[in-house]
A and B are shown apart, each in its own frame.
Chain A
Amino acid sequence: MLKKIANIDRRIIFIVIVLCIIIPFLTKTVLEIRVSAPVKSAYKALEKLESGSCVLFSVDYDPASQPELQPMLIAVLRHAFKKNLKVIMMCHWPLGFPLGQDALMVTAKEYDKKYGQDYVNLGYRPGMSAIMLGIGREIRDFFASDYAGTPVDSLDIMKGVHNYGDITLLIGFEAGATGDYWVRLAGAQFGQKITLGCTAVCAPDCYPYLQAKQIEGLIGGLKGAAEYEKLVECPGAGIIGMTAQSAGHIAIIIFIILGNLSYFILKKREKE
């Protein structure tokens, strides 16, 4: 029996994980979400902005990170539109553009926002670090037109927006190291206020920036998305997903305990 526990077939582990993830989604079980300090700070950074302030959203992820970051982007966009902030979106990952556009269209419709007046999508441009530095001088040097080719000067929202001095807050949604570049280039060089939303695996990399107050707040992983959804009172995929994630974590911890128990008992028996 002990040997069986020590050598559980990986297919059984896979089935357990599948069930742990699927069942909460089917039953739509929702657990109480506790809001952590980094997410609270991110929320406050946006909440304290005056109506009409410009917020730059940078969508730097692709479909692989969509389950974690898309609920986060939607929750923050809802907050921004609820506060009547002007949303300027751009992306450094070409495959992230449709995700950002999709989130914009869904949320803008909910709050009856008009393209070109309340929000704009500048799209993707290659040359990440050059763009980050270049926006410090003039955003039009890199984004002379929006994603559809409309000149930005013909859009009301872009009137008076030239560089970081005209952007009150930058919110980066990151699946890689792009957030580090935002902090190093836009934050350190131009004093741009930044909030980062990132995948859970990237979140530990951002903690030094948060503690050093180089970023205003940090939304980490699906957990961060769920917490933000709770703060803006718009439950979505984040809150539902946290139950599945809880079950998955519990299953992995049980497997770790079983693996260790069997390992030590068998080792002890071998010695005897």
Chain B
Amino acid sequence: MRREVPLAITFITGFLLIIGFFIPHDPIGGLQSMFLQWYAIIAGFTMVLGLMTLTRIHTRRIVKRTQGFGYSVILIGAMLGTLVVGFYSGIKYKGLFELGTPFMWYYNNILVPLSATMFSLLAFFIASAAYRAFRARTIEATLLLIAGVLVMIGRVPVGNLIWNKLPIIAEWIMNIPQLAAKRGILIGVALGMIATSLRIILGIERTYLK
């Protein structure tokens, strides 16, 4: 029963949602809508589940004093700090997200700079990696390098200043060769998704039960 019931639920909901795509009218449309609302509620609870798992794993690390447990202390502290500030702002102010609330201060002055810093580090790594690894060793690598350089220069205003045909060349690379490759990948991915979905709905693929 532990295997059959989840398999039956997967089959019925999966099949119903596929039928709902072609027949959106009631009763199938109504059932589909109800299932979608359930999905949204379950998705909300996954956040609570995530929060609990994260707390459990990192609390265990702190208790056992495993290597790097200091990071776990920071994580738990930041998580609790966010919760406290969030509840305080929600209770004391009209809304959590109004300008001037402690939560928005926390968001704008801690989360935004931290995220921006993490992401902007990419610029430095890309520059360093491009210098060290972007070599025209083979014909394929040379083609990639030329295309990359043309797109990089053609998609910024200075490219237009250097030669007004550069943006057109960059746009052509994006619209023709890039698109051809991307479309091939997308079709392959879509076919793979359809095959995997069918395997799950029909109960052939059961790894999610483990």
Q: Give the residues in chain A near B32, CB-CB below 8 Å.
A: 133
Shortest Cβ gap from A15 to chain B (Å): 10
Q: Give the residues in chain B near A208, CB-CB below 8 Å.
A: 179, 182-183, 186
**Is the beta-carbon distance between A62 and B128 smaller than 8 angstroms?**
no
**Is the beta-carbon distance between B124 and A13 smaller than 8 angstroms?**
yes
Assess whether B197 is interfacial by the CB under 8 Å rule.
no
Interface residue tally of chain A, by bracket?
A: 35 or more
**Is the beta-carbon distance between A148 and B94 smaller than 8 angstroms?**
yes
What is the bound-complex CA distance between A21 and B120, given in angstroms?
A: 11
**Is the beta-carbon distance between B115 and A64 smaller than 8 angstroms?**
yes
Q: Give the residues in chain B near A129, CB-CB below 8 Å.
A: 39
What is the bound-complex CA distance between A223 and B153, given in angstroms?
A: 12
Assess whether B104 is interfacial by the CB under 8 Å rule.
yes
- In chain B between 110 and 160, which residues have their CB closer than 8 angstroms to a CB of chain A? 111-112, 114-116, 118-120, 123-124, 126-128, 130-132, 134-136, 145, 149, 152-153, 155-160
The proximity string for B residues 37-52 relative to A, scoring 1 for CB distances below 8 Å and 0 otherwise, is 1011111101100000
What is the bound-complex CA distance between A107 and B42, given in angstroms?
A: 35
Shortest Cβ gap from A68 to chain B (Å): 9
**Is the beta-carbon distance between B99 and A105 smaller than 8 angstroms?**
yes
Which of B136, B149, B156 is the one whose CB lies under 8 Å from A223?
A: B156
What is the bound-complex CA distance between A133 and B32, given in angstroms?
A: 9
Assess whether B175 is interfacial by the CB under 8 Å rule.
yes
What is the bound-complex CA distance between A44 and B119, given in angstroms?
A: 32
Which of A65, A66, A101, A127 is the one whose CB lies under 8 Å from B44?
A: A127
Assess whether B29 is interfacial by the CB under 8 Å rule.
yes
What is the bound-complex CA distance between A204 and B95, given in angstroms?
A: 38
**Is the beta-carbon distance between B119 and A32 smaller than 8 angstroms?**
no
Q: Give the residues in chain B near A50, CB-CB below 8 Å.
A: none
**Is the beta-carbon distance between B43 and A246 smaller than 8 angstroms?**
no
Q: Give the residues in chain B near A101, CB-CB below 8 Å.
A: 97
**Is the beta-carbon distance between B156 and A63 smaller than 8 angstroms?**
no
Q: Give the residues in chain B near A2, CB-CB below 8 Å.
A: none
Assess whether B167 is interfacial by the CB under 8 Å rule.
yes
Which of A16, A64, A126, A260 is the one whose CB lies under 8 Å from B135?
A: A260
Assess whether A142 is interfacial by the CB under 8 Å rule.
yes
Shortest Cβ gap from B169 to chain A (Å): 13
**Is the beta-carbon distance between A211 and B179 smaller than 8 angstroms?**
yes
Question: A242-B157, A255-B127 known; A125 and B40 CB under 8 Å?
Answer: yes
Q: Give the residues in chain A near B156, CB-CB below 8 Å.
A: 223, 242, 245-246, 249
**Is the beta-carbon distance between B157 and A34 smaller than 8 angstroms?**
yes
**Is the beta-carbon distance between A138 and B127 smaller than 8 angstroms?**
no
What is the bound-complex CA distance between A211 and B114, given in angstroms?
A: 37
- In chain A between 96 and 122, which residues have their CB closer than 8 angstroms to a CB of chain B? 97-98, 101-102, 105
Assess whether A10 is interfacial by the CB under 8 Å rule.
yes
Interface centre among A34, A97, A205 (most CB of B within 10 A): A34
What is the bound-complex CA distance between A247 and B111, given in angstroms?
A: 28
Which of A97, A142, A211 is the one whose CB lies under 8 Å from B40?
A: A142
Give 5 closest A-B pairs by Cβ, nearest first.
Answer: A127-B40, A31-B157, A63-B115, A246-B158, A127-B43
